[in-house]
Every structure is written in structure tokens, then in C-alpha cells.
Structure 1
């Protein structure tokens, strides 16, 4: 009798444990199916992406030449990533800090049914758009057959949603509907740097302005390396990815290849021939110093006016045998200057560029060091001109190299009828 009661107690205990287990399992299953149904419902509508914005050092809220009207953002949401990228609910897809979502029909109307083509990049076509609020923007449309472009779309939105600096081409908004993915940027009215260096129809960029452009690019990269959290490596610095606004201020564009520092020996090499760091090619390791190398190539491109894909670096190495990397760089200078450049300044910039392309990454300067050197060069230029004007006055003058009065006057170097048309034909982001 006693044994029967003991067995009964054990049986009841086991039954209770099994019952509790089944109840918990049922609860989890119910929550799982409910969550799946919510995700499925969100996915069927559409997906878009916007990450959380994080401010870094030297951040700037200036987004474009034109004021971004409050009516442009027509849809917004709460903090978080979109379902399209990470599987979260659509209601969390837009950060509260404010990247707007544009309806497809608005962009269709603003581009006159996508007929205002101004450029064609690897990502897809780029259109000029006149919004109902009056601002002009550039709309980059992902090519429907581009699988790699889809990854780059994700990367650009994830990064540019949180990166804000006056020397980066900021993301104004996005659109993800009707099977299309589009990025909306500020419109850079002077096109890309490459078009100004190589198009014979444009007035050649004077030396003084080229140094200012170099400093603008350096500041953009310094922000990516030292101001962004986590740091970002651009991985595709080249003249066609440097865009110029109405004031000829340079901004870095095209973040489709950008990543954090990493080593992946199985990954395919990505970037543009002529600008690629040899260390990256041999080790598949890309670091901040990979961007520094590409920037050094860009500096030599500004100095020589020669395309890196057409033997620029071989040209530089031959010259370096005579200059020892310090002086005598005049032999590679762009003939379009017609002798109108400061020899000392040229050699200082070239010496900096040669340090940037050092085969040993550790011997290359940081972008912060580069910004300091270029700033010092421009301040010295200003002081020389100031002293000459004052006929021997030796007072030290503290200046802001970004002040309108200290930036080179570009009025005589603009041809509105030609540069605007060149911008429309060579726009690439």
C-alpha cells in the first residue's frame, strides 16, 4: 500500500513537470508564430534602411548648398534597423534623428519620370531631381540586376545615416518601394574632381585651389578615421569619388565599399586599379593606412594632372629617384599650370604625398597628421601674401583657412556654361 502511494506521488510529480514543460513550450511557440506573422506582414509592404546617427568630432549639420525644407521628409519612424537589412520590424526602420523616406511617386515626378540623367556609376544611374520644396538633389538608383549594388546600397545607408561632416556627401533620404532602391543626396553642382582635371573643355584648376581641395578631402577622411564611431575605412578614394559643390568645396562620396578595419584572406580585392594599396593587394588586409595610400595617389594626381590608371605612379617613382622624395618635384607638375604655382609649396605637398605612398604602412602618416601639414602649408601661404601686402610687416597672423576671404577666389576659374554641363555629364556617386 505504501509502495502504491509512493508510485502515485512520483507519477503525479512527473506529470506536473511534463505539464509545465508543455505549457512553457506552447507559450514560446505562440510568441514565435505571432512574431513571424508580424515580420511577414512588414516584409510584404516594403523594406528600407536607416541606421542610428552617431555624431563624431568635427561633425557638421550643413547638408547641402540649398536648405533642406521641412516638408521634404514625408515619412519617418523610430530608432532601429529595417527588416530589409536585419529582420526587425518596419516600424523601427528610421532613426529618430531624422533621415527621411521619400515616396517613389515624388522622386518619379522630381526626375520627370527618371529622364534627367546626369551620371552612370557602377551602382546604377544618377538623376537630377527638383523637389517640390525647391531644393535640388541627386537620386542614385540601384540597377535592378546588380546584386553587388544591393550590398553597397545597404552599406551606404548604414554608414551615411550616422556620418555627418561638411566634407562628406551627406545622405538626404532614401526610397525603397515598387521594387526599387534609391539613395537621395545633395546635388553637387560642379560635378566630380576627375572631370575638372581631365576634361579639356573646362578651365584648369589652379594650383592654389587644388591644395584647398586636398585639405577638404583630408578632413573628410580624418573624420571617417578618427571622428566616426566605429572608425570607417572608405576603400575607394579616387578623383571621380570627390564631388565639388557650388563653392568648389570638395566632399568625399561613394561609400559602397566602406568597412571597418579587417583582414579577410579569402575576400576578393575591391577598389580601383591605380589607387590600391600594394599591402592590401598582397595581404587582403585593409586598414586606415590603405586610405592614406589612396590619398597620396590623389595628391600626386592633383600635382601632375595624370590619371593613376595610366602610369602615374611609375612616373612618380622615376621622379623620386632624382628628388629623393623631398625637392625637385617640378618635373612632374601639370603643364596646364603654365608655370603658375609656388615651387616651395609644390615640393612640400609632393613630399607629403610621397610619405603617404610608402610601401611600409606604418611609415605612412595618419590622416590627422596630413590635415595638420596641409593646414600649415595654407597658413604659410596666407602669411607670405599678407607680409608681401604689408611690405615687410612681420606680425604673425592667425587665420582660419576655411574663411571665405582666405579661400582662393574661383570666379575667374568658373565657366558656368561649361562646368555646369560637365557636372551633369560626369556626376558619379
Structure 2
């Protein structure tokens, strides 16, 4: 047995070691807490200041909130400062600018560009939209976040951050933003022909079949970039005819990315979002939004272009009835297109749109497959046009040759007559 003195020494050493270990753990624990505490505090503040949005038919909606009608806003009003800190602190503002890469404009410049917010273009779910003559030259559209908007600051931030890295000819270009004097504004390139929705249901100007086919192709290219070209991929989550804008050449661009999500988002339940009539039924039942949910919404837009029937007017019932027969699309074709389009092209596009609406998401085509079908329809049209042009040219050439041959025969007859006269 060890002497008592040795046991005392061993006990003291063990005690000192344990004491040092506990002191080290306490030191590193305090340092870790000091580093993490500000982040927790920031997250708690940002969650507290994100408003729960209300909705109405035809607007971007959050179905976790109650239904209500949106109120039109005549012009931007200065909002009172919230008692809670906003997510737009000086620190986050600087970080936001560096991430987005989008120019920030002061309120006074936007006020001047919009002639004190008097040149209104329309009213959206975000708020009023104004026409602006930008100080750098050119025309722009300014969307002002209304105080009673169906979209909040979170959607505003999402749109600026996403469009800071997304650039494609079939996406509406965000050229600036304004966060000043209590106002939140988004500044877009000006799309002179407005929304696709207005054109589909307009009685004044009729979209030709050629224009509709090109618009479908433009939308498809825009979605294809989001799904397969962006890194990481982006799911739009609010595709509808009102969010497709047309430029001066009637070329279509996808707009309004306030509800968009990167495919790698954390997947936490944030409530059902989208627009009534365009929402994927599988999303409603599972609360899981995927790229195939965007495909469903695109299928609805295609049928809108074919039929000129709004989703709120029981479009799906007409589509389901039409799909019972191979040529069912003929029965629901927009009356303004009857006799003014190639019915085979309409049927081919309708078949693809029907696949986009398949009740099982995994059986729906990818956006790349949809694009290929639309391109084939368009190429067949162009090939047919070229063939007809060649036939016309060939026919014209034959007529010219016949005319020349006729003239040569006449000249020969005149020469023979002249020779006879000379002999006499």
C-alpha cells in the first residue's frame, strides 16, 4: 500500500488538473456565447419585423394569413417609424448593397423621376407602379411598397438579392432600388406593352398565333434559365400571366421574384404561397414546392394563351373536358384565333401543356423538355413558311421563263415576216 504522503500528492495533482480543465471550459464557453449572442439577437429582431401578409384573388398570396381585399394606394406615404428595429439597419444595409450589386437611389431622385409620383402605370400586389424618367437616361418602372401591401420587406429583400445575380434576356431587369425616408421601391426596366394578362383579355388588340407562340417560347427560356442555368437553381413560385411583361417588340420577360426561393432553401414551413388558380394541387396537399410546381403554373399560362379563359373562370374544367378527345383543343380555342392559326400547332402545344398539368409532379416534363417541344413547333412553322416561299419563288421564276420564251417566239415570227417582205 502506498504511503499516505504519496496519496495526498496524487490527490492535489488531480484536483489541480480538474480545476484547470473546468476553468478552460468556462473561458471558451463565455467567448463562444459572446460571439453567438449578437446573431441570435439579430435573427429575433428580423423575425419580429416581418409582417404576416394578407391576400386577395389574383394577387401573390400567403395562405397562412386570412383572406381580404387589397386596397388601392393613390401614392406613397411616409410610414411611421416602427417601435421595433427594422431589418434595414446600417450594418445590414451595407452588407445588402455589396451582395446585391444593384444601384441604390435616394428618394429625391425617384420623386423627381416620377414627377412627384403622378405618372402612375398601374396597381400591383406589391403596391402602385409609376413611370419614371431616370436621371441616367431612359425610362423605368418604379414599384412602391405600399404600407398595406400584400408583400412585405422580406419579399423586397428577396427580389433585390436574387435579381442582383440573375441576368437573362427573358427576365425583367432590376436596375435599382430605393430605401429612404421610410419608403421601399424597386426600379425596373420599362416594359412598354405591359402584362401578358392585359393582352390576353383585351378586346382592343388581338394577339396573333405567331405572337402567342413566341411569347410561350420566351417564357420557357426564362424559366429554363432559373431552373437549369442559375446556380443554385431558383424556383419562381408565382408564375402567372400578370407576372409576364412584354417589351416594345412584344417579347416576353418573367417578372416579380418576391416569392422566389433557391432550390437549396432550408425547407422550413413558411405557409402556402402563390396565386389562386395557378397553384400546383400537389403543393397544396404536401406543402412541398418544387420545380415541377413552376411547370404546373406554366401549363396554366399556356392554356390561357390558347383559350383566353382566366383560371378564375374555371379554366381547368374546360381543359379537363377538352382533353377527353384528341382534337379537344379545337373546342376551347380562343374565338379570335379561329381560322387564323394552324390547328395542328395548337393541338401540339395543348398536348404539352396538358403534360405540365399532370397530377403527379414527377410525371410532368422538365422545362428543358417543354422548350424543345415549343422549338419543334416553331421550326416546323418556319420550315413550312420557307417551303411556301420557295414554291412561290419557283412559280414566279417559271412565269418569267415562260414570258421570255413567248417573247422569243414573237421575235422569231417578226424576223420571218421581215425576210418574206425583203424577198418580195
Does the aligned pair in 1 maintain the 2:125–2:150 contact within 8 Å? no
2:316 matched residue in structure 1 = 313
- Tell me, what secondary structure is at the counterpart of 1:350? helix
Q: Give the superposition deviation at 1:167.
A: 0.5
- Tell me, what secondary structure is at the counterpart of 1:94? helix
- Tell me, what secondary structure is at the counterpart of 1:137? strand
TM-score by length of 2: 0.71
- Tell me, what secondary structure is at the counterpart of 2:319? helix
Higher relative contact order (CA 8 A, sep 6+): 1
The reply on whether 1:364 has 2:364 as its aligned counterpart is: yes
2:223 matched residue in structure 1 = 221
Q: Give the superposition deviation at 1:337.
A: 1.7
The reply on whether 1:332 has 2:335 as its aligned counterpart is: no
Q: Give the superposition deviation at 1:264.
A: 6.1
- Tell me, what secondary structure is at the counterpart of 2:275? coil
Does the aligned pair in 1 maintain the 2:243–2:254 contact within 8 Å? yes
Does the aligned pair in 2 maintain the 1:103–1:175 contact within 8 Å? yes
1:125 matched residue in structure 2 = 128
Task: Identify the structure with the greater helix proportion.
Answer: 2
The reply on whether 1:247 has 2:239 as its aligned counterpart is: no
Does the aligned pair in 2 maintain the 1:175–1:182 contact within 8 Å? yes
Q: How many residues align?
A: 343
Does the aligned pair in 1 maintain the 2:217–2:371 contact within 8 Å? yes
Distance 1:86 1:319, change over 3 A: farther
Distance 1:160 1:216, change over 3 A: same
Does the aligned pair in 1 maintain the 2:125–2:151 contact within 8 Å? no
Distance (Å, rounded) in 1 between the aligned partners of 2:281 and 2:26 = 61
Asked which structure has the greater CA Rg, the reply is: 2
The reply on whether 1:277 has 2:280 as its aligned counterpart is: yes
Q: Give the superposition deviation at 1:112.
A: 1.2
- Tell me, what secondary structure is at the counterpart of 1:184? strand
C-alpha RMSD of matched pairs (Å) = 3.6
Distance (Å, rounded) in 2 between the aligned partners of 1:183 and 1:240 = 17
Q: Give the superposition deviation at 1:330.
A: 1.1
- Tell me, what secondary structure is at the counterpart of 1:285? coil
Does the aligned pair in 1 maintain the 2:99–2:164 contact within 8 Å? no
1:72 matched residue in structure 2 = none
The reply on whether 1:375 has 2:379 as its aligned counterpart is: no
Does the aligned pair in 2 maintain the 1:263–1:286 contact within 8 Å? no
**What CA deviation, in whole Å up to 9, does each residue of 1:210-243 have, x standing for no partner?**
0000000011001111111111111111111100
Does the aligned pair in 1 maintain the 2:100–2:165 contact within 8 Å? no
**Structure 1: gaps (5+ residues):** 44-82, 395-429
Distance (Å, rounded) in 2 between the aligned partners of 1:299 and 1:97 = 32
Distance (Å, rounded) in 2 between the aligned partners of 1:183 and 1:205 = 29
**Structure 2: gaps (5+ residues):** 47-85, 395-424
Q: Give the superposition deviation at 1:144.
A: 2.3
Q: Give the superposition deviation at 1:327.
A: 3.2
- Tell me, what secondary structure is at the counterpart of 1:169? coil
